[in-house]
Structure 1
Amino acid sequence: MGEFLVTGPAGDAVGDLAGRVGVRIVSRLAEAGLTVRALVSDPSRTRLPPHVETARGDLAAPETLEPALRGVETVFLIWPDRGAAAPTPAVEVIAKHARRIVHLSGGRGPHREIERAIRWTGVPCTFLRPTGYAADTLRWAHQVRRGVVRQPYGTAARSPVHERDVAAVAVHVLTSAGHGGATYTISGPETLTRAEQARIIGETVGHEVRWEEPPARTAREELLAAWGDPAAVDDALAEWASFAGAPERVTDTVQRLLGRRALTFRQWAGEHAADFR
């Protein structure tokens, strides 16, 4: 399949879930003996296997991408959710070198523009659209330790996906043929409300965790104080409101592509129990 370039793999920060998936993809490709290069803005801050080649570059500065793209056939594109420049210039540079682009997308917001830019190049492409990550609940860790998760929209029903499943599907797509033009929505195997997710985490760590719904007029202020990003807060509130009205769908993507059932939220919580204690 030639040489792979993965953009944006990062460390284990809670807010950088896509980057965490990127780390898993890089590691799995390298373990399989494939040649993989990681595009990072600061190699000293990135946790990657020591034998993985890194290239310094920034998607917001397309002129920095050329050295990283030399000899590359397939690009796995992780685009920063916020703070990056318009995608078209970087995508055009990538398309000059790559024979295939796989994008870890979201299907909404800025990802729509990225998908359009990729399609416009004419390079064979595949879009992976994870549902809500199970790891989003790591934001609740300090509240879980106190036994009460105070968040809005406890009835919002998600199909939380394990980041390992997202990485496994990505590696499958990267290393096998027949995915050109495909869009895969990757979900967990079940729909759970946010309040149910908190309860399952409590059962996993061994103490009751209650859900407490703040008054609507204070929910945004509390989230803004915790996150510090008004746009992210407003996007999250709108998304949770939509899933309170219509549950996030469950897909068969993991079963169909990997031949096994998707990992459950309870499995994810068991693997991350130490993060909540």
Structure 2
Amino acid sequence: MSKILVTGATGNVGRHVVSQLAEAGLEVRALARNPERAALPVETVRGDLTVPETLEPALDGVESVFLLWPGFSTGNAGELITTIAKHARRVVYLSAHVPDEGDSTHYQQIEGLIRHSGLGWTFLRPGGFAANTLGWADQIRQGVVRWPFGQASRALIHEKDIAAVAVHVLTSGGHNGAAYVLSGPDELTQAEQVRVIGEVVGREVRWEDQPLDEARELLMAAWGEAAFVEGALTTWESFVDHPERATGTVEKLLGRPALSFRRWAEDHAADFS
């Protein structure tokens, strides 16, 4: 099997993709803006996805690419994908599950660019990331989490499972043209997620619903993209009456159950302590 390039290699998912591919003895190259600080167990080269020409050396000899696009807009993603298509044969793109297919997001737009690139492709569409609850860490330590929509229910997925599916798809046949909706096995409300984290770290934590205006202000300060903030709030609200359902796709692809949210909390207990 030819070399695999992993982008987003220093992120929550990318690090696991790199380590799992390396543990399998496969030829892996990681892309990082600062290779000397990446501390990855494989060849790591400098590159920036937002500057596509910097990928030319990284793509030399590469057959497959694990692609994670940074940011909330397509930017110059078209140029990037054209650059990838000049060298590689296939791409596994970490997209996202969009409940309302009528809304065109940057994820869907990038999927469209890939579909028309001539590359073989597989799309991974996870729903909620369990790792996003790390944003509550400071509040967990204080014993109260204030956030909107405590009764919004999601089947959050462990980043290790996303990586394991990516590795499976990158290293086995039969996935070309597939779009896999991924989830964890547990359908828990946000208030229940907080309770589980509290139980794991041995601390009683209660939930308080946060006013929307307050949440909107905090998210704008963090993300700086009004459309993305409004889209996120609308989506979270939808999970109150229409919960995100567990798909079972991880187990079908990997032959083992998806990791539970409690397991994720155990793996990250130190982050909340």
CA distance in 2, matches of 1:221, 1:64: 36
Give the aligned partner of residue 17 of structure 2.
25
* Contact 1:25–1:168 (8 Å) recurs in 2: yes
Q: Relative to structure 1, is the Cα distance of residues 46 and 83 closer, same or farther in structure 2, using a 3 angstrom cutoff?
A: farther
1:168-188: CA deviation from partner (whole Å, max 9, x where unpaired): 111111111110000111100
CA distance in 1, matches of 2:137, 2:97: 28
Give the aligned partner of residue 251 of structure 1.
247
What is the one-letter code of the residue matched to 2:269?
A: A
Give the aligned partner of residue 158 of structure 2.
162
Calculate the TM-score normalised by the size of structure 1: 0.91
Give the aligned partner of residue 9 of structure 2.
9
1:191-215: CA deviation from partner (whole Å, max 9, x where unpaired): 1111110011111111211100123
Calculate the TM-score normalised by the size of structure 2: 0.92
Give the aligned partner of residue 85 of structure 1.
75
Q: Where do residues 86-165 of structure 1 align in structure 2 (5 Å cutoff)? A: 86-108=76-98, 109-165=105-161
Specify every segment of 5 or more residues in structure 1 that has no aligned partner in the other structure, as ranges. Answer: 11-18
Specify every segment of 5 or more residues in structure 2 that has no aligned partner in the other structure, as ranges. Answer: 99-104
Q: Secondary structure at the match of 2:195?
A: helix
Q: Where do residues 119-268 of structure 1 align in structure 2 (5 Å cutoff)? A: 119-224=115-220, 227=222, 229-231=224-226, 232-268=228-264
What is the one-letter code of the residue matched to 1:82?
A: F
Q: Secondary structure at the match of 1:256?
A: helix
Q: Relative to structure 1, is the Cα distance of residues 133 and 94 closer, same or farther in structure 2, using a 3 angstrom cutoff?
A: same
Correspondence for 2:39 among 30, 44, 47: 47
* Contact 1:189–1:262 (8 Å) recurs in 2: yes
CA distance in 1, matches of 2:97, 2:109: 9
> How many Å apart are 1:223 and its aligned residue?
4.1
> How many Å apart are 1:261 and its aligned residue?
0.7
CA distance in 1, matches of 2:224, 2:249: 32
What percent identity do the matched residue pairs reach? Answer: 58
Q: Relative to structure 1, is the Cα distance of residues 203 and 107 closer, same or farther in structure 2, using a 3 angstrom cutoff?
A: closer
> How many Å apart are 1:260 and its aligned residue?
0.8
Q: CA RMSD in A?
A: 1.6
CA distance in 1, matches of 2:110, 2:153: 27
> How many Å apart are 1:156 and its aligned residue?
1.0
CA distance in 2, matches of 1:214, 1:123: 45
> How many Å apart are 1:249 and its aligned residue?
1.9
> How many Å apart are 1:230 and its aligned residue?
4.5
> How many Å apart are 1:83 and its aligned residue?
6.8
Q: Secondary structure at the match of 1:97?
A: coil
Give the aligned partner of residue 62 of structure 1.
52
